[in-house]
Amino acid sequence: MKTILHRQQSGGVSFERVSDTFLSIVTGAGYGGTPDEIAEQSRRFGLPDDDGKAPYSKDFTDRWAYHMANGDMTSEQVYSLVSERAKAYHGYTESLLVNNVDLESYLIATDYDRDLLRFDDLKDNIPYMELDS
């Protein structure tokens, strides 16, 4: 498994993990759906939030709905799509894909209810993959 580290606009770090279920849907055959159902899912995904902001482009919601219905993505494409979604919604400035076995290298300290992570982009010290958006 892998974890996506996101650099927040404030300089802080957030992390995100993709569930095995989601990964199996979009790397497999998807959940199915007619073209009309896929178009409706895309439309719903693109609706504005309570604050009136629609964080996702039509292109993004179309791609998201298509791949949920039809799958056929590589795991790298899935992580990139999830990262793109997080950047659009939360305004993250960068993302790194980290193997979970390497995640400890990013750990600064453990607080009572959370781990404190650093966003380390030193390519020579820690293996990671840059995510395209």
pLDDT in tens, 83-109: 999 999 999 999 989 888 777 766 665
Asked if the model's pLDDT at residue 31 lies above 80, the reply is yes
Whether residue 78 contacts residue 27, with contact meaning beta carbons closer than 8 Å, is answered with yes
* pLDDT score, position 121: 53
State which H helix or E strand residue 110 sits in: strand 107-110
Asked if the model's pLDDT at residue 114 lies above 70, the reply is no
Asked if the model's pLDDT at residue 64 lies above 60, the reply is yes
Mean pLDDT of the 41-66 span: 92
Predicted TM-score of the model (pTM): 0.79
